[in-house]
Amino acid sequence: MMPPGQRYTELPSQRHSHLHNLRALAPYLWEYRGRVLAALICLLLAKLAGVGVPLLLKDLVDALGAHGPLTLPVALLAAYGGVKIAATVFNELRDTLFAAVRFRAVRRITIRTVEHLHRLSLRFHLERRTGALTRDLQRGSQSLSTLLNYLVFSVLPAAIELALICGVLLLHYDVVFVLIVLGAIGVYVAFTLAMTNWRIEFRHDMNRLESQAQNEAVDGLINYETVKYFGNERLELARCDATLARWEQASVGSQNTLALLNFGQGMIIALGVTLMMFVAAQQVVDGRMSIGDLVLVNAFLLQLFIPLNFLGVVYRMIRYTLADMDSLVALLEERPEVVDAPDAPALQVGAGEVRFEDVRFAYQPQRPILHGVSFSIAPGHTVAVVGASGAGKSTLARLLFRFYDVQGGRILIDGQDIAGVTQDSLRAAIGIVPQDTVLFNESLAYNLRYARPDASDAEIAEAARLAQLHAFIASLPQGYATLVGERGLKLSGGEKQRVAIARAILKRPRILVFDEATSSLDSRAEQAILHALHSAARGHTTLVIAHRLSTIVDADEILVMEGGHISERGTHAELLARGGQYAELWALQQRERADAAGEALA
């Protein structure tokens, strides 16, 4: 696993050896090890048939060039055709057998990575860049398949063919032919790798800038409303275009160096073939070789150079793939910040009492958020938390859901420390109506059913009625099948809040959290939502994080937070009578309400 001090970044440098990365991803191939072995056998048979083609061609040329009356070499022609067919059949069998291995590996790696991303803690997802992470996930999930594709279909076949051809040349001809083959291929490989290593820097720049441009484009689209508020469409386009201009420059450099690479490869092939033909022609003149032998050695050399034409591409793609694998392995080795103990039991929810005991917490060590916060919520009661922004109110909800672990003290539900139970069982017991309800770009029914995927249509409709949402949905042409748009943009703030309330009701939790659920609504919408919230909270243990004090006047206890401490506590009436911070905040909000009402009347 990755050390806590070393975190995943979207474009990492090499963290592990390639062997380490291959070992990490090898289990995804083990399921189809029989198919892999069969594919390799077909590969060997295909190459044996491929080497047999020039040998039969030599015999055909010699038979047709023999002195005496010409006869049709039917057997040789039939064998020649049979070997060609065999090479094709075994190649296709290899591809067919290996297809299931490649695509199953992609599927399993993708699901495993997405599952791991869901297990990672909230801090990771708050710090990530969605566009770049999506790109890295796409590249990484394909990396093992791509690597296998190039190894099994390019590198390994070329190596087997080279070994077979050198063996035939050593057995039947002078060693000079083997030296010419190995020398030409050696120079070709060295030149190609050197040029590719130079070109790969351009490719790195292209990948980095492509990810950056995609991240900038996605970021601008995700924040569509903010862009429109400030009229900054041109700013977003200019930012993305500046990155794409650098990408364009790197791409042009990559293309120009590719032309140089192709020219050098062509020169080496031409010189190697010319030298081979010169030596073979001299031996034919000397009577040491036949015309068929000359055709054979020429065919062998050209046959070797055909796959080597793609050596630069193969080498570059293998390097990129290994880099993508490193990115994926680094992501898979990112440690979740919050983990269950190996023997953690499920939370046993009874009455639903919640208790914070001397809880201390900081997002960063140098900036503490909570300083020894203690309070309890009796079963079926409501406790509200108010205070200025940054006082630590919403942090209480995040800690209750165990998105972070406390650094001091503990949080108990029915006497059980939530750090000692499974996260799944903990979150199943709590429902939330958040301040900003983000919905999936799916139907209303899908978004409501998300709280409990096995809920029936009747249960969804009942939850919508309790949240005062059913009448609105019934008025829509497509009803519950209506799509809500990206992040729920087709719904108003009040409608989205009602969806969140309906989901909380449908989930049937024992404990409810309302995290500033009405802070973004106007007064009329707020009153309608408040009625739904009170209905949802009836009989539940409820924690309300509020900005507007008018929404929590009937809470059983109100906590006033300031600088990570609870500065006041009591009922609404008690806090007003005390004349402290709560009373001042109440008076201020009442004045603001009166001013807003006066402006509305005017």
* Within a domain: 345: no
Alpha carbon distance 50, 58 (integer Å)? 14
Q: What is the pTM of this model?
A: 0.64
Residue position matching structure tokens 């077979």? 164
DSSP of 115-178, one letter per residue?
HHHHHS-HHHHHH--HHHHHHHHHHHHHHHHHHHHHIIIIIHHHHHHHHHHHHHHHHHS-HHHH
Residue 422's alpha-carbon distances to 324, 336, 342, 416, 512, in angstroms, are: 33, 14, 9, 11, 19
Residue position matching structure tokens 């919230």? 533
* Within a domain: 337: no
Clarify whether residues 493 and 528 are in a common domain.
no
Residue position matching structure tokens 């903990």? 426
Residue 263's alpha-carbon distances to 258, 317, 409, in angstroms, are: 9, 20, 70
Banded model confidence at residue 250, pLDDT cuts 50, 70, 90 = confident
Q: What are phi and psi of 18, to 5 degrees?
A: -60, -35
Task: Locate 476 and state its tokens.
Answer: 């829509």
* Within a domain: 382: yes
- Taking all residues of the chain, what is their mean pLDDT, rounded to a whole number? 81
CATH code for the domain of 54: 1.20.1560.10
pLDDT of residue 569: 93
Q: What are phi and psi of 560, to 5 degrees?
A: -105, 120
Banded model confidence at residue 6, pLDDT cuts 50, 70, 90 = very low
Task: Locate 453 and state its tokens.
Answer: 């995927």
Alpha carbon distance 87, 46 (integer Å)? 4
Q: pLDDT by residue (tens digit) across 586-600?
A: 998 888 777 766 666
Question: Of the given ranges (383-397, 528-542, 545-559), which has the lowest mean pLDDT?
Answer: 528-542
Q: Where among 332, 360, 381 does a domain terminate?
A: 332
Alpha carbon distance 300, 149 (integer Å)? 24
Burial of 374 (0-12, 13-18, 19+ CB in 10 A): exposed
* Within a domain: 8: no
Clarify whether residues 166 and 117 are in a common domain.
yes
* Within a domain: 315: yes
**Statement: residue 572 has pLDDT above 80:** yes
Q: Where among 508, 533, 564 does a domain terminate?
A: 508
CATH code for the domain of 478: 3.40.50.300
**Encoded amino acid at 140, one letter:** G
Alpha carbon distance 523, 594 (integer Å)? 12
Clarify whether residues 298 and 164 are in a common domain.
yes
Which uninterrupted H or E stretch holds 74?
Answer: helix 74-119
Describe the crossing of helices 175-222 and 291-308 by its angle, rounded to 10 degrees: 20
Clarify whether residues 58 and 197 are in a common domain.
yes
Tally of structural domains, the chain: 3
Q: pLDDT by residue (tens digit) across 291-340?
A: 888 888 878 877 777 777 777 677 777 777 777 777 777 777 778 888 88
Clarify whether residues 387 and 408 are in a common domain.
yes
- Alpha helices per DSSP H over 223-351: 224-230, 233-285, 291-308, 311-332
Q: Where among 508, 528, 545 does a domain terminate?
A: 508
Nearest to 61 by CA among 294, 288, 276, 278: 294
Clarify whether residues 493 and 525 are in a common domain.
no
Clarify whether residues 250 and 368 are in a common domain.
no
Q: pLDDT by residue (tens digit) across 454-471?
A: 999 999 999 898 888 888
* Within a domain: 341: no
Question: Sign (positive/negative) of CA torsion 460, 463, 465, 471?
Answer: negative
* Within a domain: 579: yes
- Under a CB-based contact definition with an 8 Å cutoff, are residues 521 and 360 in contact? no
Clarify whether residues 481 and 365 are in a common domain.
no
pLDDT of residue 456: 92
Clarify whether residues 115 and 205 are in a common domain.
yes
Which strands form 416-417's sheet, in the order they lie side by side?
A: 367-377, 354-364, 408-413, 416-417
pLDDT of residue 4: 40
Alpha carbon distance 43, 374 (integer Å)? 69
* Within a domain: 216: yes
Residue 149: count of CB within 10 angstroms of its CB: 17
Question: Of the given ranges (3-7, 30-34, 369-373, 446-450), which has the lowest mean pLDDT?
Answer: 3-7
- Alpha helices per DSSP H over 385-476: 393-400, 423-428, 444-449, 457-466, 470-474
**How, if at all, do strands 408-413 and 354-364 pair?**
antiparallel
**Statement: residue 418 has pLDDT above 70:** yes
Q: Considering the chain, what percentage of its residues have pLDDT values greater than 90? A: 18
Clarify whether residues 488 and 595 are in a common domain.
no
Q: Which residues pair with 511 in a beta bridge?
A: 430, 541
Clarify whether residues 277 and 388 are in a common domain.
no
Clarify whether residues 498 and 554 are in a common domain.
no
pLDDT of residue 199: 78
**Which domain range does residue 68 map to?**
18-332
Alpha carbon distance 496, 425 (integer Å)? 26
